[in-house]
Structure 1
Amino acid sequence: MAAKKILMLVGDYVEDYEVMVPFQALQMVGHTVHAACPDKKAGEFVRTAIHDFEGDQTYSEKPGHNFVLNCDFATVKAEDYDALVVPGGRSPEYLRLNDRVLELVKAFDKANKPIAAVCHGPQLLAAAGILKDRECAAYPACGPDVSLAGGQYVELDVSKAHTQGNLVTSPAWPGHPEWLAQFLRLLGTTITH
């Protein structure tokens, strides 16, 4: 298996686990991961938020770490990458207002490259218009975004993930084991024991 080059689209208040864990795990298995944010350069950082499930009607939010970017957004071209990762948190709600971000998401999908989105990440997929007639899991509050974009919202336990074609989605970070495993399968990554 050849190592893949993966783009991760992030912004301020991206969910802490949803950026840190895949960024590190995908590199651990030999892939190159470039984390980029509009209007920011390599060496700058985005703030993260820690979302937790503590019995309230929605998740709680606490300050997370500063996540250092390793790629200049201005230089990013979809054709230079093999796959895309879209973490959740609050960043997808405003990244979807950036036309260049939406163009990148569309380009990855048009080329049928693997796309992994978790939690609120599907908000970007919906805004890019790539969910029509497709199944997509997401944080439950984003289910209407999926449906309004013409997709079929897949209701899953937070520890699960769903794959359809080139798209791997999960409701939240507790689904990382399944979400990352399904994404690795799409990438052609084989882990032997």
Structure 2
Amino acid sequence: MALLGLDSALGATLDPVGVVLALVAGVFWAGYVLTSARVGQLVPGAGGLAMTLVVATLVVAPLGAPRAIGAFGDSALLGLALVVALLSSVAPYTLELSARHRLPAPVFSILLSLEPAFAALFGWILLNQDSGVLRNLAIVLVIIASAGVTLTGARRKAPAMSVEAAGTRRDDA
């Protein structure tokens, strides 16, 4: 992660407000990961996701409501806002919830660490954003770290099995 700051420092100065906002976003991301896992355990299917989207809407609506009221008078703008909502929240979170239920935790964790790589790729394709060598290296290192922690953590948690126990299990199957 330090490489991202170093890359920014080489080209420009870091905005302290931006750094604070990035740290706040990181705290909220960690909260999202922890609470979504808990909601997924407590509420079957997509019911938990539906409720979290409603709660999130109620929390942030007062911040944007004064400026958003004009969108209700413009049907094209309202339609575009609904498409953005579907593509940026409903569809990705529904797919993520489905993957979380179907995939083993280590696989899901590694796939989640690929998100910055896809963000950089689509930023390059759609917005012509150059991510630079250091940023790309930082993204690769985050993915490698995620895979390493996930794979070695899974090995550490698995109980060691003796040869006799392995033979007994094979006979039971």
TM-score normalised by structure 2 residue count: 0.25
- Greater relative contact order, per chain length (Cα 8 Å cut-off, separation 6+): 2
TM-score normalised by structure 1 residue count: 0.23
Structure with bigger strand share is: 1
Structure with bigger helix share is: 2
